[in-house]
A = this chain, B = another copy of it.
Amino acid sequence: MNAQISAGTNRTSRRRIVVIGAGFAGMAVVHALRNSDADITLVDRNNHHLFQPFLFQVATSILEPAEIATPIRSLLHELSNVRVEMREATRIDLRRRAVLMNEGDPLAYDILVVATGAQTSYFGHELEWSQHALGLKSLGDAVAARNRLLRAFERAELEPDPMKQARDMTAVVVGGGPTGVAITGTISELAQRTLASDFRNIDLRKARIVLVQAGPRLLPAFSERHSAYAARALEAQGVEIKLGAPVTDVDATGVTVGGERIEAATVLWCTGVEGVPVARALGANVEPNGTVAVLNDFSVPGHPDCFVIGDAAHVVGRDGRPVPGLASVAQHQGRYVGKVIAARLASATPPKPYETFTPSKLATISRHVGVAEFRGRSITGYPAWLMWGLLHLRSLSGGGHAKFSILANWARLLVTYRRSGRLIVEPSELVGRRKRPEVAEDTSTETSNVVVLRP
């Protein structure tokens, strides 16, 4: 197998560092090592670094993909010691120090950083539920969710059957965390404010938007006061909230929640994450949710040359609970591991043990309402939304162009409720070329007088 292991194009004596995943954690490691004397290979299955905190705004037509994602190559093109490979790591061979790929030769490493992040978990029902309840982890997920929601409203406008029409006008969001709360609020605004006046047959002010939370309150990571505030804010927008209501079934036409059946054309799954499969390959130290338990320096016990960071790592904070899967946390870990690796490359003394930090909590509820716990202070309403928006915008890596573009979209939304991105777009390649109508498509009972298409 060694023969299969490529050392990259420039086979040198320099150390080979492989980073899997170009999320916040992986990018932070690479930037921390930008001046190191090593050959760095960054592997990702996508060609872009995604700013996940704004993903729900793409799903709800507020922002466009290009505003929250940047090509990895353009972010790193000045780092001459970094190579970017767009392919998917499928396996890790710790013994041989090689990463196996979905295509092409395995990649040999001297030092490996696994920053593969998390993926949507359906709690064991992936096969049955994932096709009906759309996750929200990638740009593809967001575009799919947008297409489904907009298509459902278009169908409702044409639907003569009141039952089906009601179903097409119902959206269920599963998960009462920050993402679930944010997307629920923006969906209800999309229906009631942005779209309502565009339809003639249906009244989208009557669209049914349901937020389902298995636990006893929304935003469980926040204070009870903020949970209550978020619930009030959403209910004021006409959102139905179901607490203590676990999902027991999902199918093409709706969900079953706490024994109650809800007919819904759109179901979004914003609860439950798990480690990405490749991280599970690290074996013994894998938690039930697929994350990997690591040592103080984020290395895998028994494998000092293999680090796991970000959502892929199981890290416990001061409060004894796993640290939240936030961008700031992932970046903090990435920068630290970058220092660890740099010290090792220089045979210098390693940095002092990692200290977890308590990130400020920010959540947005709707167009200009949020809650925040910032340096011990509790903030709600517009100030909290503003803080959410500006703090995130600051850390957006898309550069000035994207930042400005996002600000322009937000400003317009604040003033007019208008959203530009309400497009249903599907790459022709995937849909297949629109086939020509056939005579067989004739829906009339009597065809003699019907003009028939030429073959």
Mark A residues whose CB is within 8 Å of B.
1, 4, 6, 9, 45-48, 64-67, 69-71, 73-74, 77, 83-88, 90-96, 100-106, 119, 126, 130-131, 134-135, 138-141, 143-144, 147-148, 150, 154, 157-158, 160, 195, 197-201, 277-278, 280-283, 286, 398, 401-402, 404-405, 408-409, 412, 418, 420-431, 433-434, 436-437, 441-446, 449-454
Contacts A71-B423, A102-B437, A278-B453 aside, 15 further interface pairs with beta carbons under 8 A come to: A4-B445, A9-B201, A48-B424, A65-B423, A66-B421, A88-B434, A94-B451, A96-B450, A138-B428, A139-B423, A140-B425, A143-B425, A147-B427, A277-B453, A282-B451
Determine how close the nearest CB of chain B comes to the CB of A409; give it in whole angstroms: 8
Contacts of A67 in B (CB 8 A): 420
- Whether B422 lies near A426 (C-beta < 8 A) is no
Contacts of A453 in B (CB 8 A): 91, 277-278, 280-281
Number of identical monomers bound together in the oligomeric complex = 2
CA distance A64 to B63 in the complex (A): 11
- 4 pairs of A and B residues whose beta carbons are closest in the complex: A73-B198, A90-B437, A144-B429, A144-B427
Q: A47-B154, A451-B95 are in contact. Are A442 and B100 (CB under 8 A)?
A: yes
Query: Which B-chain residue is minimally distant from A441 (CB atoms)?
Result: B90
Determine how close the nearest CB of chain B comes to the CB of A282; give it in whole angstroms: 7
- Whether A91 lies near B437 (C-beta < 8 A) is yes
- Whether B95 lies near A449 (C-beta < 8 A) is yes
Question: Can you list 26 A-B contacts with CB-CB less than 8 angstroms, sorted by A residue number?
Answer: A4-B444, A45-B434, A47-B422, A66-B421, A71-B198, A73-B199, A74-B198, A74-B418, A83-B200, A84-B198, A90-B437, A91-B453, A94-B451, A95-B451, A104-B160, A126-B433, A130-B433, A131-B429, A134-B428, A144-B428, A277-B437, A277-B453, A278-B437, A398-B420, A401-B412, A427-B427
